Amino acid sequence: MKIAQVAPLFESVPPAQYGGTERVVANLTNELVRLGHEVTLFASADSSTRGKLVPMCPRALRLDTGCRDQLAWHVLMTECVAAQADRFDLIHFHIGHFHFPLVRRLDVPHVTTLHGRLDLPELEPLYNEFSDMPVISISDAQRQPLPMANWIATIPHGLPETMFQFQPEPEGYLAFLGRISLEKRVDRAIAIATALGWPLKIAAKIDPADVGYFEQEVRPLLDNPLVEFVGEIDDQAKGSFLGRARALLFPIDWPEPFGLVMIEALACGTPVVAFRAGSVEEVVEHGRTGFIVDTDDEAVAATRRVTTIDRRTCRQSFEQHFTARRMVERHVSVYSQVINAKAASVQVAI
Amino acid sequence: MKIAQVAPLFESVPPAQYGGTERVVANLTNELVRLGHEVTLFASADSSTRGKLVPMCPRALRLDTGCRDQLAWHVLMTECVAAQADRFDLIHFHIGHFHFPLVRRLDVPHVTTLHGRLDLPELEPLYNEFSDMPVISISDAQRQPLPMANWIATIPHGLPETMFQFQPEPEGYLAFLGRISLEKRVDRAIAIATALGWPLKIAAKIDPADVGYFEQEVRPLLDNPLVEFVGEIDDQAKGSFLGRARALLFPIDWPEPFGLVMIEALACGTPVVAFRAGSVEEVVEHGRTGFIVDTDDEAVAATRRVTTIDRRTCRQSFEQHFTARRMVERHVSVYSQVINAKAASVQVAI
């Protein structure tokens, strides 16, 4: 198949450090190429891919402090994609709903993966209008606020099988990895570790918008001999950080659409203790690959029992459900389905 | 003519208080209706117009603190406009370049007024691609960074003739009106007033992004017996605020695309002392309706001589160049030109 992947321009594909969407697009593109498909990737020029890169802006916009109008680059990208649309069998968008009015007027089969949270009131009128756009969710839970959308598949994220090594023998610490923000609840992770008297390592990115929250709410909690704050880490460091942990704490307080870090931990063999929200029940198998909890007390009790989880089972769960290969097989099947549906509708129209 | 006006959704049309673009769209729409045209206005539901309002979101997005995804409403609006495009003889967009890929694929004549600053590096590749889109500038100076764009007219802003009353007898103060921001240079206005020993009244909006600048740089300067800070004011208060002033100080330090407040002052008969930048030389007639200066010393000297300016000349300049009637006549002529060009190109194609 000739496939176009259209990535957001905020991070490179893959991102240098933190960044979920662009990382998934990178894995998807590389794995499609490995399977023999011809993939064109529309992304920032500092991306690196096995596909054919069409550079849409000089560098990832998050790093381009001189750029005031990030929308301008995305407008230019959608035009560029539309202008060469008939070169592709299918176009796969990862840029939210920005392109909907345009692609509705193109003849080429397309599909859009929605990577973000969808429980915003302004999305309801939007998807009432665009209930024909074929969309892919990254968890079933993510769909809930928008039942009127044209959901054609749920495809969980996947990672290259060799990206993280299985670590059979962990050290004694707990790990937290993510953005520092109200909804990720690093404060809860600290409370759990403190209740157990176990060390906690925190690897986290702090967005400019969250600096106030970090300074006021989080920094005072770091003055704790059990807690080590290691800052933002890259993929290299991540494998060792997650793999050596006794468990990953995922104490979220928001409808997480997927939660890539959970499968990164599982790939290392590290069990996950997660609060029930968003996609969690679709990723963690309670009692097999970690524990799903509803309260702080349950979290402490579950974490204490986490050594009863077999780390090989965690790795096997990753290999079975969450590899890039598995993710790509699912995509290829959806692509065929969309292309055939389009051909059938043209047939009817003729 | 059957005309669609497509406004940004950040403010109502017209805005309750500060806001340039939506105010211009309001004047343009009302005056077109008065001339007998059938005008449909796409805008937020709290707008009020003589045209037919198609409400696109419940309220102005600046006031809707629950809205996280402002783009979603604009995506929905462009779809809504495109879906009924063939009902109109012409569509006039005021939403930047957001709609370019979409309207390129519609058959209806359209034109876009660019209301913002254009000296951003990311706009150059955008307008290299979209050099066919018919665009209107609000000053000749505004065009300078983008010579490749398809400029079809410069149309200065206009105000209803009766909106501001001519005030022949001012009081003794100087006026500053605008946003508090680095580029508007309220600090310069304070320095000029202080050098002259004349009172200065400041009517200004403070955007959340500029609160830091205000607190650190501006607030200390307000502790000055000559300076009175009156906050953000509405249209009612504006006429009296500007009309009673001896002069408007416009000490900008950026390429101002138009500067609506200059013609608001002229409409009251109030001369303008402005720094040479952006549109200033196209609005102020040096020595007739105010003074154009390059340095703080020149500004002080010019302001001292401002009583030599005949206030009736200022009002006459407004009536001759900057009324809504004048603005609308120019638009009708451009609309005809665009419609005829489209018809001719279709003829050629047939």
Give tens-digit pLDDT for B207-256. 888 888 999 999 999 999 999 999 988 888 999 999 999 999 999 999 99
Q: From the CB of residue A302, how many other CB atoms can be counted at a distance below 10 Å? A: 21
Helix (H) or strand (E) holding A290: strand A290-293
Tokens representing A238 are 């991540």
Taking CA A161 as the corner, what is the angle to CA A160 and CA A163, rounded to the nearest 5 degrees? 65
- Residue-level pLDDT at B348: 67
Cβ contacts of B293-296, under 8 Å, gap ≥ 24: B296/B188, B296/B191, B296/B192, B296/B195
**B267 CA: distance to closest CA in chain A (Å):** 34
- Using CA atoms of B39, B45, B46, B49 in order, give the dihedral in degrees to the nearest 10: 10
What's the ipTM?
A: 0.90
B297-313: average pLDDT: 97
Residue of B nearest to A83 (CA): B101
**Pairwise CB contact (< 8 Å): A126 & B82:** no
Closest approach of B246 to chain A, Cα-based (Å): 37
Instruction: Report CB contact under 8 Å: A73, B122.
Output: yes
Starting at the earlier edge strand, list the strands of the sheet with B150-154: B52-55, B38-43, B2-6, B90-93, B110-113, B134-137, B150-154
d(CA B23, CA B6): 13
Does the CB of B212 have a partner CB in chain A at under 8 Å? no
What per-residue confidence (pLDDT) applies to B322?
97
What is the pLDDT at residue A35? 94
Question: What is the structure's pLDDT at B11?
Answer: 94
A77: closest CA of chain B, how far (Å): 9
- State pLDDT tens for residues B144-195: 999 999 999 999 999 999 999 999 999 999 999 998 988 999 999 999 999 9
Chain B positions touching A60 (Cβ under 8 A) are none
CB spacing of A68 vs B120 below 8 angstroms: yes
Choose the closest CB to A123 out of B72, B98, B123: B72
- CB of B208 within 8 Å of any CB in chain A? no
Is the per-residue pLDDT at B16 higher than 90? Answer: no
pTM: 0.92
Q: What is the mean pLDDT of residues B117-146?
A: 97
Q: Which residue from A77, A85, A90 is spatially nearest to A106, judged by alpha carbons? A: A85
Token pair for A320: 């079975």
**Is pLDDT larger for residue B311 or for residue B172?**
B311
Chain B stretch 55-84, residues whose beta carbon is closer than 8 A to a beta carbon of chain A: 57, 66-73, 75-76, 78-80, 82
Instruction: Determine contact: A93 vs chain B, CB below 8 A.
Output: no
**Amino acid letter for position B18:** Y
Q: Is A100 within 8 Å of B79 when comparing Cβ atoms?
A: yes
- State pLDDT tens for residues B54-107: 999 999 998 888 888 999 999 999 999 999 999 999 999 999 999 999 999 999
**Which residues in chain A are contacts of B72 at CB distance < 8 A?**
97, 120, 122-123, 126
Given its phi and psi angles, is residue A205 left (phi above 0), alpha (psi -120 to 50 degrees) or beta?
beta
Q: Hey, are the CB atoms on B80 and A129 less than 8 Å from each other?
A: yes
User: Which residues are within 8 A (CB) of A91 and not within 5 positions of it... i.e. 6 or more apart?
Assistant: A3, A4, A6, A81, A85, A103, A108, A109, A110, A111
Tell whether the model's pLDDT for residue B326 goes beyond 80: yes
Which residues of chain A register pLDDT less than 70?
Answer: 18, 347-350
- pLDDT, residue A350, reads 58
Distance separating alpha carbons of residues B244 and B255, to the nearest angstrom = 28
B10/A contact by beta carbon, under 8 A: no
Amino acid (1-letter code) at residue B93: F
pLDDT band at B349 (very low <50, low <70, confident <90, very high): low
Residue-wise pLDDT for B121-131, tens only, equals: 999 999 999 99
